[in-house]
Amino acid sequence: MNKIPITVIVSVKNEALNLPLCLSKLNRFDQIIVIDSDSTDDTRAIALSMGAEVLQFKWNGKFPKKRNWALQNAAIKHDWVLFLDADEFVTDDFVNEIEFKTKNPNYNGYTIQFENYFMGKKLKYGYGFKKAALFKKSKGAYEKIEEDLWSSLDMEVHEHPVIKGKVGVINAKVVHKDFKDLDHYISKHNAYSTWEAHRYYQLKQSHHQHLSLNQKIKYGLLNTGLLPAFYFMGAYFLKLGFLDGKEGFYLARFKAHYFFQIQTKAELLKVK
C-alpha cells in the first residue's frame, strides 16, 4: 500500500495512556512526528517503538510554541501537515476523505470535526468541536500572540492557524476521547482559563484585534458577563445536551464554569 503523503505531527507531554491508540490509527500516513515536552512517563519509548520520529521541545517562554516550532524546525517531508493531540484518534473514513481532498489544488487547508467523549460516554448533542488542523505548511502557521510575560502553555491550544487561501471542511469526524481521569480534565482547563483570562485582558487593552467570528462572539459575551449562562443554556437546552444524560449535564456545567473562571480571573487582572 502506498503511504499517504501527509506528515502527521502529534504534540505530547506524559501521554502514555492515550498515545498507543492514537499512533496505531496512523499507519497509512508516510510520516509521523511526535513532538514531546520532556515527558517523564513512557511516552517517548512508546512513540519510538511504534515507528514515530520523536523530537524534544524545550520552550523558552517566547515565540514559537510547540506547533510553530515544529513547522520551522522539524524535517517535514510533505507539504500537507495534520496536527493531532494524543487523545485524538482518526478513523478510516476520515483518512479516506483527507487522502482524496488534499489532492484538490484549490484548497490550502481543512477544518476537522470531532466526535466527543466525556467521562467515557460518546456525546451526540451539545456544541460540536472543530479546528483547522490540516493545512499546507507553505500556506499556514499558528497565529502569534504576544504572551511572553504571562503564558504557561508551551503549545498552541487556543491560537488559531492562519491559512492563506481556501479552507474546506472534512465531514468524517476524528474521535476525541481522553483516557485520563476527571482530575486531569479539571487541572488542564484551569490552566487554559488562566491563559484565556490573560488573552482577554490583553485584547481589552489593544485596538488591534484580528479575531475569528467565534472569538468575537466569545469575547463579546465575556464583556457582558453572560457567557457562562449563555453557554450552559445553549449547550444543554438549545443543542439538546440533556439527551446525553448526566454526562451531557456535567460537560455543560464544567464548560460554563470554565468561562466563569475566565471572567473571574480577568477581573482580578484589572485590580493588579
Number of domains in the chain: 2
Same domain? For 51 and 159 the reply is: yes
In degrees, rounded to 5, the angle at the alpha carbon of residue 196 between the alpha carbons of residues 10 and 206 is 120
Return the SS3 of 121.
strand
Q: Which of 4-8, 70-74, 197-201, 234-238 has the lowest mean pLDDT?
A: 197-201
Query: Could you say which of 176, 191, 226 is where a domain stops?
Result: 176
Query: Could you say which of 150, 176, 202 is where a domain stops?
Result: 176
Question: What's the pLDDT score for residue 218?
Answer: 81
Beta bridge partners of 113: 130
Return the HEC string of 125-167: CCCCCEEEEEEECCCEEECCCCCCCCCCCCCCCCCCEEECCCE
Same domain? For 74 and 98 the reply is: yes
Same domain? For 68 and 120 the reply is: yes
Same domain? For 44 and 97 the reply is: yes
CA dist 99 and 82 (Å) reads: 11
Q: Which domain holds residue 142?
A: 4-176
Q: Is the pLDDT of residue 210 over 70?
A: no
Same domain? For 188 and 141 the reply is: no
Same domain? For 234 and 133 the reply is: no
CA dist 245 and 123 (Å) reads: 9
Question: What's the pLDDT score for residue 217?
Answer: 80
The proportion of the chain whose per-residue pLDDT surpasses 70, expressed as a percent, equals 97
Same domain? For 152 and 231 the reply is: no
Same domain? For 101 and 216 the reply is: no
Query: Could you say which of 124, 143, 176 is where a domain stops?
Result: 176
Same domain? For 197 and 167 the reply is: no
Mean pLDDT of 211-240: 87
Same domain? For 65 and 111 the reply is: yes
Mean pLDDT of 123-142: 96
Return the SS3 of 85.
strand
Condensed to tens digits (0 to 9), the pLDDT of residues 52-99 reads 999 999 999 999 999 999 999 999 999 999 999 999 999 999 999 999
Q: Is the pLDDT of residue 144 over 80?
A: yes
Same domain? For 13 and 136 the reply is: yes
Same domain? For 84 and 197 the reply is: no
Mean pLDDT of 139-158: 89
pTM of the model: 0.94
Q: Which residues contact 208 (CB under 8 A, 6 or more apart)?
A: none
Contact 50, 25 (CB under 8 A): no
Q: Is the pLDDT of residue 31 over 70?
A: yes
User: Which CATH number belongs to the domain containing residue 109 in this structure?
Assistant: 3.90.550.10
CA dist 272 and 270 (Å) reads: 6
Question: What's the pLDDT score for residue 223?
Answer: 80
Condensed to tens digits (0 to 9), the pLDDT of residues 237-270 reads 999 999 999 999 999 999 999 999 999 999 898 8
Question: What's the pLDDT score for residue 113?
Answer: 98
